[in-house]
Amino acid sequence: MSGDRSPRRRRSLNRFALATGSVTVLSLVASGCVTVHGEREFLPTATRAEAARALKDFTTAYNKADKAYDRSLDEDRVTGPLADIDGAKLDAGHETSPDGNANHRPLKLTDAHFVIPKKAGWSRWFLADTEANKGAAGSHWLLVFTRADAEDVWQVSYLTVLGSGDVPKFTEDADGWAEPVAADDPGLAVTPRKLGSSYADYLRSGGDTFAPGTHTSQWRALRKKNATRPGLARQYVDEPLNSGDHAPVGLRTTDGGALVFFATRHYEKQTAARGVDLNVTDKNIQALLKGDPKQYLTLEFVSNQAVLDPAGTSSDREVEFLSRVQGLTGAKGG
């Protein structure tokens, strides 16, 4: 994991996921929502015991899949952007090492703290803040668990890694339950539902929506630098992922803003000049490649972000990246 530090906070980059390029890994209370006199009661989305069991089940499934390079072994425990990223990583691993992962080291998630919001209705979700035996010492692995109804098992949709001092403080009630923010919350600098499209617009055109850093101004500068090289041109397309288990989720922080997780998809098309060969040497790209890259190669990535979205009344309204996990999910040549 690598990152940079601003005057306000160090950003961190998790290399948990398979990545290439510039960036580069139960049941609810009774029947769930309780209807009282025709209105839904606000309840914790899970008990802490249920959350602990969900974390254990995820870790067990993840380790089986990672050891065998077999996505079927954890596909019922991952969803959303993490399923896209982790599934492609496992597919590539199976293609290059069909006998399994010779370098497998079991993941251990310890010292878990669960941030459980209190809300009505489905879907439901909570955040697990853990320490891990992989990555930088002292870093925190944050996992968003979600499920659509009481019959489903808990699945991890978002994963991010932060430094120990970068985890924000969350608003909690007297019983210790957190406060979720709605996807259309108007009280934040950027409505969570619009973060994906705003990020895509920023990467294309710039602006002041996002604070400068590794995943914003520096990434745009690197793209510009690499756009035209002798014999090779690169084009980029970015788009939000907002539906289903790719939808943004957020938790209110004590400063009135929110920690928000959101997902995006990114394409990089490399086009060779006449007479120039496109040599694909990365084994992970080779494993996912469809077609013969004689003239062009298009790489597809899925990315999940964790950002601090300030309150709309804040004097500093720039959205700040804390972490971004990007994984290669497809490659096509022609």
- How far apart are alpha carbons 307 and 314 in whole angstroms? 15
pLDDT digits (tens, 9 = 90+) for 213-223: 999 999 999 99
Mean pLDDT of the chain: 88
> Is the pLDDT at 45 greater than 80, yes or no?
yes
| Predicted local confidence at residue 64, as pLDDT | 98
pTM exceeds 0.75, yes or no: yes
pLDDT band at 8 (very low <50, low <70, confident <90, very high): very low
What DSSP letter does each residue of 189-240 carry, written as one string?
SS-GGGHHHHHHHHHHH--SSB-SSTTTHHHHHHHHHHSEETTEEEEEEEEE
The stretch 63-73 carries a mean pLDDT of: 97
Least confident of 29-33, 66-70, 244-248: 29-33
**Type and span of the H or E element at 249:** strand 249-252
256 contacts: CB under 8 Å, gap ≥ 6: 187, 310, 311, 313, 314
| Predicted local confidence at residue 18, as pLDDT | 39
pLDDT band at 33 (very low <50, low <70, confident <90, very high): very low
Query: 309 versus 10: which is more confidently predicted?
Result: 309
pLDDT digits (tens, 9 = 90+) for 173-199: 999 999 999 999 999 999 999 999 999
**Around Cβ 41, how many Cβ atoms within 10 Å?**
12
- How far apart are alpha carbons 293 and 304 in whole angstroms? 28
